[in-house]
Amino acid sequence: MKIKTTIRALAISSIVPMLLATALADTINNNWSGVAGDKGNMTGLAFQADAGNYPNSIDPLGSLTPTIELTRLTLFRPNDATTPSFGTGARQVADADTPVYLDVYTTMTGNTFSGYLGSSSSSVTWSSTSPDQAYSFDFSGLVLSSSAKYWFVFSQDNVEGNDANFRLKLNTSGNDATPGEGKGYLVNDTIQSLTQAGVAQDWGFAFTAEFTPVPEPTSATLLGLALAGLLAWRRR
């Protein structure tokens, strides 16, 4: 009986950390450069989960899986009085109280986005943000490949097709060939943002992305078998 109890305890102790790891928020960080001029009105932002991957970009280390579910993307408003470009023209937001979403695409050609995957489940208005503070977009069920490049596009609705702009902290410095904040976020990729004016730039953006690791099929199967065994033991 003592041996069985020990085996059960070991099984439970091996499962609990896995469940806790799933429940806690894992993050990918691309910190701001701290340069006063690194800010602007932008329309599209390139994102790749395993890009950069410099020290402390992923927390906890080792939590990034080949497939992830993105749950939240946090951006940062500059500490100035400048607003996004409001109006009814190309890539403009109507006014400070217009809800803005993030649409997700796989491709940008010229200044046109294609391969729509979905939109954020929450929106942000400029009037609800504060200087030098963070603002966030939530996502539900958005599964991404860690090694693929995606485009987050500001939009006045949560369906495909509308391009708007919002104001955020950028990283315009750095070396494109060196992993790190700024131009090194997407190493050797000089197109990683689109300005409100429709110009492609080699600028990274400051963000914190929260994600849930998606286990590989083998890991998911093992976890399922372990949970099934635990349930069977409890029924006994």
Q: What range defines the domain where residue 174 resides?
A: 26-212
223 belongs to a structural domain: no
220 belongs to a structural domain: no
The model carries a pTM of 0.83
Q: Is pLDDT at 117 greater than 90 in this prediction?
A: yes
Q: What is the mean pLDDT of the chain?
A: 87
12 belongs to a structural domain: no
3 belongs to a structural domain: no
Q: What pLDDT sits at residue 68? A: 98
128 belongs to a structural domain: yes
Q: Is pLDDT at 3 greater than 80 in this prediction?
A: no
13 belongs to a structural domain: no
80 belongs to a structural domain: yes
- 136-188 confidence digits (pLDDT tens): 999 999 999 999 999 999 999 999 999 999 999 999 998 999 998 889 999 99
Q: How many domains does the chain have?
A: 1
Question: Which of 7, 35, 1 lies closest to 206 in space, CA to CA?
Answer: 35
Question: What is the distance between the alpha carbons of residues 120 and 23, in angstroms, rounded to a whole number?
Answer: 21
